[in-house]
Amino acid sequence: MTNPIERVQTGIRIEKRLLKVLKGLAEQLDMTLADLLEGMALHCFEGKQPFSQQTLLKIEQLKAVYDLDLTASDSHAMQETDVP
């Protein structure tokens, strides 16, 4: 039996290349972006790795395709540029 949940619609701002990698990964895993994000968060909250080695390799490929060079160490130092 699963726990009942209530989902809400939200609007978030996220780095463009990061979003492309996440959408690409969700597509590769045949799941929605929301399901991917929920799973990642729940794994991280428990200190668990959310991805297999094979999935991590796919992530590296997607990062190369979308020129995503950000790392975890960048997460608290990102500064948004003004977009016209």
Q: Look at residue 1 in the predicted model and tell me its pLDDT.
A: 64
Q: CB of 18 within 8 A of CB of 63?
A: no
Q: Look at residue 41 in the predicted model and tell me its pLDDT.
A: 97
Residue 62 neighbours by CB distance under 10 Å: 19
The one-digit pLDDT tens for each residue of the chain (84 residues) are: 678 889 999 999 999 999 999 999 999 999 999 999 999 999 999 999 999 999 999 999 999 999 999 999 998 888 887 665
Q: Look at residue 75 in the predicted model and tell me its pLDDT.
A: 87
Predicted TM-score of the model (pTM): 0.86
Q: CB of 33 within 8 A of CB of 22?
A: yes
